Structure 1
Amino acid sequence: MELRQLVAAVTVADVGSVSNAARRLHLAQPALTRRIQALEKDLGVSIFDRTPSGMRPTATGEAFLARARLILRDAERARVEAGHGAGEVAGQVSVGLLASISELLGPDLAEAVRSAHPAVRLRVDIGYSGHVRQWLEAGAVDVAVLYELGDRPGIHSDPLVRERLVVAGPADSVLAQQDQVDIAALPGPFVLPAQEHALRILVDEAFAAAGATARVALETNTVDMQKTLAHRALGWTVLPASCIAQDVASGRLASAEIHPPVERTLVIAHTALHPSRAVTTVADALREVVERVIGRGAWPSAQLIDGRTRR
């Protein structure tokens, strides 16, 4: 198996046909076809279905191509690092951030990396915890800040911060007169993320502990939609305090801490298999950014957790 065969297969999958892939790779079509055939012979399986509309990966091919993309990414990183020598950190690093903290951490991280390591090309992907976890496990992001993972093979995670969750609603709601609220006592309805996401799991567990069930009127996987619907009195929502601080300060929303307290624990995580210098450098920069943001009071609801303990 050769890297050029992997490049051929990934390119065919990306563009959907051998002819288009050959043009992209500046190869003769028969030469590209031979590379795909040699790869399939080496693997002992077909990775593409040949259809009248083009080349479509088989189920086995999809799994192989996902791995091939990671191999090509790592090979490119090795090339870039070798080209810059031992003294300079270089390469592309993909970071996954929760939507609730992306504005807090993303700009500071970009600034820190560009200032200290200009040869590092940063990509930031934003989503709910379930999305970020999937990206991390699939190798689509290199390092991430997300809800506590538990023990997961191939993932190294360190505890980072602990933060209380709050209930939010319209500025003129009962929450405006309360510092704390029994979440199970609120009549509902609620606007919450889908059930596979960690925030929803925490909310469901809080209701279960009170012997109740949340009456959910709508599920959404965007923080902005949660806040907008709460503002319009279409349902209570639950979010980290940091996520709605500006909305509360501007009078758009009111909030109250949940009693008994419901907390989220965030970790910084990366794949445990030989992270590149660029990945470890960005992970360290991300930790430092979190410490600075909390230190200057920009994340008052978060409490740093000491220790790097979980593999």
Structure 2
Amino acid sequence: MMLAELKALVLLAETGSIQAVANRIPLTQPAVTRQLQRLEEVLGTTLLDRRAKPARLTATGLAVLGHARKVLAAFEELKNAVATDATPAGDFRVGIAHALAESGVVSSLQYLKQNFPDLNLRLTAGWTNELIPKVDKGELDAALVMVAGARDSLAMLPGPVLARDDLVFLASRNLALPRTPSLGELNRFGWILTPDTLCGSRASLRGAVEKDGSQLRISAEVHDMALQASLIERGLGIGMLPKRKAASLKRSGLRAISVRGLDLQMQIALIRAPYLGKLQAVVDGLQENLAVEFRRNQSR
């Protein structure tokens, strides 16, 4: 890249002599002379008028000087972009799994803006199986993801688990159901679930229903949990939501029901890109704040 040679040229323009450049770098005077000669050889032109004492830049040398300063400034920007101790600034690209758009997450994003005011938050919503590859490819700097399923066979997430929550089955209080209904009895009403066909809890539910000799009956597929709860409350089907989320909805027309032989859990994790540079502190802060928010919500 010849950065040392370009720096020598810029210093010569600033100090006026090769000896002064040698003192600044520091190098010997012959070493600085060789740097300037190498730069001339690479560019195929004469940068110094050596007839003058001390040598001064030629017209071509002055033109090259402007470009040299731009190159050195760009390289400093590059170093700052990957420096872990640099002030975080610019775009911070974070993914959030659909089911995790809640007040605790919003509070953590607000924390980022308060503590890193030069950040531009770029948020992407998606399913966990969509977000993880985006982090691996460097398209996202971090992502808050979740996995759900049978408690004893949950898939591993590539990041620290920040929170766990039970999944509860919900039905309308107007449905005539026994205290502990069977899956077969629930399946007759149909299920109101998220469209995520790769969701582990949905796969566990399907497996249990099919083991019971039936086919999983879907009444509706809905992204938004509040809308799911409204449909369930009106008796359009049976649903399952994270326990904390179900409680926060405060729907008087819903009741939680126990299902024999099906114990489901959700885990939440924050995954991060491998080479974050100055954004390392941002992700560390986000992880710590999310953990606090999740603990606060679970204690309510």
**TM-score, scaled to structure 1:** 0.57
Match of 2:11 in 1: none
Could you tell me how far 1:190 is from its partner in structure 2? 0.6
Could you tell me how far 1:236 is from its partner in structure 2? 0.9
Match of 2:189 in 1: 188
Distance 1:284 1:91 in 2: 17
Q: Which has the larger radius of gyration?
A: 2
Question: Compared with structure 1, are the counterparts of its residues 217 and 207 closer, same or farther at alpha carbon in structure 2 (3 Å cutoff)?
Answer: same
- Where 2:240 maps in the other structure, the secondary structure is strand
Match of 2:277 in 1: 276
Distance 2:78 2:258 in 1: 50
- Where 1:100 maps in the other structure, the secondary structure is helix
Could you tell me how far 1:111 is from its partner in structure 2? 2.1
Match of 1:100 in 2: 99
Match of 1:157 in 2: 159
- Where 1:264 maps in the other structure, the secondary structure is strand
Question: Compared with structure 1, are the counterparts of its residues 214 and 223 closer, same or farther at alpha carbon in structure 2 (3 Å cutoff)?
Answer: same
Question: Compared with structure 1, are the counterparts of its residues 281 and 171 closer, same or farther at alpha carbon in structure 2 (3 Å cutoff)?
Answer: farther
Match of 1:47 in 2: none
Is the deviation greater in 84-93 or in 187-196? Answer: 84-93
Extract unaligned runs of 5+ from structure 1.
1-74, 302-311
Distance 2:278 2:259 in 1: 41
Structure 2 letter corresponding to 1:94: R
- Where 2:298 maps in the other structure, the secondary structure is coil
Instruction: Count residues in correspondence.
Output: 217
Question: RMSD in angstroms over aligned alpha carbons?
Answer: 3.6
1:287 and 2:287 correspond: yes
Question: Compared with structure 1, are the counterparts of its residues 139 and 88 closer, same or farther at alpha carbon in structure 2 (3 Å cutoff)?
Answer: closer
- Where 2:290 maps in the other structure, the secondary structure is helix
Could you tell me how far 1:287 is from its partner in structure 2? 2.2
Contact 1:109/1:289 (8 A) holds in 2 = yes
Distance 2:181 2:80 in 1: 53
Match of 1:126 in 2: 125
Structure 2 letter corresponding to 1:240: P
- Where 1:157 maps in the other structure, the secondary structure is coil
Q: Deviations over 1:157-183 (max 9, x none)?
A: 2233222111122243457x85x6654
Could you tell me how far 1:299 is from its partner in structure 2? 2.9
Structure 2 letter corresponding to 1:120: L
Could you tell me how far 1:189 is from its partner in structure 2? 0.6
Distance 2:292 2:84 in 1: 30
Distance 1:150 1:235 in 2: 27
Identity of aligned residues (%): 19
Distance 2:84 2:227 in 1: 46
1:110 and 2:112 correspond: no
Match of 1:142 in 2: 141
Distance 2:117 2:252 in 1: 40
Contact 1:206/1:262 (8 A) holds in 2 = no
Q: Deviations over 1:96-119 (max 9, x none)?
A: 222332213322112211222212
1:241 and 2:243 correspond: yes
Distance 1:190 1:169 in 2: 10
Question: Compared with structure 1, are the counterparts of its residues 231 and 221 closer, same or farther at alpha carbon in structure 2 (3 Å cutoff)?
Answer: same
Contact 2:182/2:259 (8 A) holds in 1 = yes
Could you tell me how far 1:232 is from its partner in structure 2? 2.2
Q: Deviations over 1:180-208 (max 9, x none)?
A: 66545413311222313344234334435
